[in-house]
Amino acid sequence: MQYRLFAILSALFLLTIRGNAQAGDSIQQAPVPVYDSLSATPDNLQKPNPRRVALVAGVNVVAVSLSLALLNEVWYKNQSRGTFHFFNDSREWLQVDKFGHAWSAYNAAQVLSSRWSWAGVNPKRAALYGSLTSYAYLTGIEVLDGFAEKWGWSWSDVAANTVGIGLYLSQELAWQEQRIQYKFSFHTKKYREPVLQNRADDLFGSSFAERMLKDYNNQTYWFSANVRSFFPRSNWPAWLNVAVGYGADGMLGGFENKWEEAPGSWIDRSDIKRTRQFYLAPDIDFTRIPTKSRFLKTTFSILNSFKFPAPALMLNNRGKAKLYAFYF
């Protein structure tokens, strides 16, 4: 779904705000006790700052409203519309696009929650507010899809959004930290056959930015686990993570490698197998690198949504294994 690209861009923009909020003047809060609940506010916790709470609430309403209005204007306005309907795209792109939905939802929830934390809201309550706002925003986009004749409301998209937000919120409620982070990486690819290169350019775009957002063959989504957070007494470096990734290759269409090049002229490249790929690689948790620099805190916060380039082992669903000396 094309609208996921907009969600990613929104998440990337919000990440800069998250970094600035973390690096700048923030309200210091005491550690959250294990007995804390969403409704509890122990005396040793600093209470919310009313002005900051009002500011965050207002910014969220305006940002979400303007974002949906802009998306409607620049994308859906030029699409044919009809009555609200459903569309089952659960098998499209070998589900790589669903991993993208979840990544966008996870990062948006994290960013929006950090705003509430900056306002002095109870950490668990901040995580809940941010998650609900993220869910409302992505659901709003899904509603727009529901009226577009080319697409429709996708329950699998909604499920992916729920998984992404659930991954963030469950960790905040259980551990008050993200021990398993959801990350993204991308690389470019050139096709030897002109017909395949033309198809890729037409389907995914020719610029690097377009390919990064549209080419599901070269996107990888990672679950990056911080070992030290699970085993605090170990000598494992606090910044070193272990990541497992998912991607796919050989996709020249959403459901099959067959397309109409010109009216009545079809190209069938079913000989190119669509494969699922699974990865194992080390990673870096930048937020666990000690620094007092506001600039570095902001930079690390942004970088932590992306998988650090590193050696990787790939195994696909056809039994092929490959070791990369450097993979992104």
Q: What digits encode the pLDDT tens for the residues 226-236?
A: 999 999 999 99
Residues 290 and 315 in one domain: yes
Residues 215 and 142 in one domain: no
Residues 138 and 119 in one domain: yes
Distance between CA atoms of residues 169 and 110, nearest Å: 8
Residues 9 and 143 in one domain: yes
Asked whether residue 184 carries a pLDDT value surpassing 80, the answer given is: yes
Asked whether residue 21 carries a pLDDT value surpassing 50, the answer given is: no
Residues in a beta bridge with 260: 266
Residues in a beta bridge with 282: 242
Binned at pLDDT 50, 70 and 90, residue 76 comes out as: confident
Distance between CA atoms of residues 146 and 140, nearest Å: 10
Return the pLDDT at 182: 97
Q: What value does the mean pLDDT of the chain take?
A: 86
Asked whether residue 31 carries a pLDDT value surpassing 60, the answer given is: no
Residues 140 and 7 in one domain: yes
Return the pLDDT at 234: 95
Choose one of 161, 177, 193: the last residue of a domain. Answer: 177
DSSP helix/strand/coil, 194: helix
Residues 169 and 297 in one domain: no
pLDDT 10s digits, 288-322: 999 989 889 888 988 999 999 999 999 999 999 99
Residues 74 and 38 in one domain: yes
Residues 33 and 166 in one domain: yes
Return the pLDDT at 53: 93
Choose one of 124, 144, 177: the last residue of a domain. Answer: 177
Residues 158 and 21 in one domain: yes
Residues 2 and 37 in one domain: yes
pLDDT 10s digits, 147-181: 988 889 999 999 999 999 999 999 999 999 999 99
Residues in a beta bridge with 266: 260
Return the pLDDT at 168: 97
- Please, are residues 1 and 89 in contact by the beta-carbon 8 Å criterion? yes
pLDDT 10s digits, 41-50: 444 456 889 9
Residues 6+ apart with CB under 8 A from 229: 175, 177, 179
Choose one of 142, 158, 177: the last residue of a domain. Answer: 177
Residues 17 and 154 in one domain: yes
Residues 6+ apart with CB under 8 A from 257: 250, 251, 268, 269, 270, 272, 274
Distance between CA atoms of residues 253 and 16, nearest Å: 33
Return the pLDDT at 224: 98
Domain tally, the chain:
2
Residues 164 and 212 in one domain: no
Range(s) of the domain holding residue 77:
1-177
pLDDT above 70 as % of the chain: 86
- What are the backbone angles phi and psi of residue 295, rounded to the nearest 5°? -60, -45
pLDDT, mean of residues 25-54: 54
pLDDT 10s digits, 79-132: 788 899 999 999 999 999 999 999 999 999 999 999 999 999 999 999 999 999
Return the pLDDT at 46: 62
pLDDT, mean of residues 237-259: 96
| Packing angle of the helix pair 123-146, 155-175 (nearest 10 deg) | 180
